[in-house]
Each structure stands twice: as structure tokens, then as C-alpha cells.
Amino acid sequence: IDKGRIAEDGSPQALIENPPSPRLQEFLQHVS
């Protein structure tokens, strides 16, 4: 969720393996 809106859509596995946005890529680097 980004500013109250759904930012990404897809299966969790697909989003983790191939994050479509730079923001999600950065977030995943911090939590993995």
C-alpha cells in the first residue's frame, strides 16, 4: 500500500522473486 492505494498486485511469490517497482525492490532488500 502506498499513500492509501494498492501499489502492487500479484502472487506473493511472483512479487518477491521479481519485484516490479524500485520501491518494492528497496523494501525487500531491507527485510530479507
- DSSP secondary structure, 1-32, as one string: -BTTB----S-HHHHHHS-SSHHHHHHHHHH-
Higher pLDDT, 1 or 26: 26
pLDDT one-digit tens code per residue, 5-32: 998 999 999 999 999 999 999 999 999 7
pLDDT the model gives residue 14: 95
Whole-angstrom Cα distance, residue 30 to residue 32? 6
Q: pTM to 2 decimals? A: 0.69
pLDDT the model gives residue 22: 94
Whole-angstrom Cα distance, residue 5 to residue 18? 20
Whole-angstrom Cα distance, residue 23 to residue 15? 12
pLDDT the model gives residue 2: 83
pLDDT the model gives residue 1: 79
